[in-house]
A = this chain, B = another copy of it.
Amino acid sequence: MVVSEKTSKSTRIQRARREEILQAALEEFSQHGFRGASINKIAKRAEMSTPRLLYHFKDKEALYRELLKSTLLLWLGPLQMLSDTDEPIEEICAYICRKLEMSRKFPRQSRLFAGEIILGVPLGQAEVFEPLRATFESKIDLLQSWMKSGRIAPVDPHHLIYSIWATTQHYADFEAQIADLSPQKMPGLYTQAEGFLLPMYRKYLAVE
- Other A-B contacts than A133-B181, A163-B197, 7 sampled, CB-CB below 8 A, are A32-B119, A132-B181, A158-B181, A158-B182, A159-B192, A162-B193, A163-B200
Closest B residue to A32 by beta carbon equals B35
**A: interface residue count bin:** 35 or more
A165 proximal to B (CB < 8 A): yes
B192 touches A156 (CB 8 A): yes
Cβ contact of A167, chosen from B163, B178, B195, cutoff 8 A: B163
The quantity of this chain's copies bound in the complex is: 2
Given contacts A195-B156, A196-B159, contact A174 B204 (CB under 8 A): no
A119 touches B115 (CB 8 A): yes
Query: For the complex, would chain A's binding face be called helix, strand, loop or mixed by DSSP majority?
Result: helix
Q: In the docked arrangement, what's the CA distance between A156 and B200, Å? A: 11
What residues make up the interface of A, taking CB atoms closer than 8 Å to B?
Answer: 31-36, 111, 114-115, 117-120, 129, 132-133, 136, 155-156, 158-160, 162-163, 165-167, 169-171, 173-174, 176-178, 180-184, 192-193, 195-197, 199-200, 203-204
A133 touches B180 (CB 8 A): yes
Contacts of A196 in B (CB 8 A): 155-156, 159-160, 163
Closest B residue to A183 by beta carbon equals B158
Q: In the docked arrangement, what's the CA distance between A163 and B114, Å? A: 17
Closest B residue to A165 by beta carbon equals B170
| Min CB–CB distance A41 → chain B (angstroms) | 11
Q: In the docked arrangement, what's the CA distance between A34 and B36, Å? A: 8
A199 touches B193 (CB 8 A): no
Q: In the docked arrangement, what's the CA distance between A119 and B173, Å? A: 9
Output the residue of A111, A159, A174 with the most chain B CB within 10 A: A159
18 pairs, CB–CB < 8 Å, chain A vs chain B: A32-B35, A32-B119, A33-B35, A114-B114, A114-B118, A114-B173, A117-B174, A117-B177, A118-B174, A129-B177, A156-B192, A158-B182, A159-B193, A160-B196, A162-B193, A163-B197, A200-B200, A200-B204
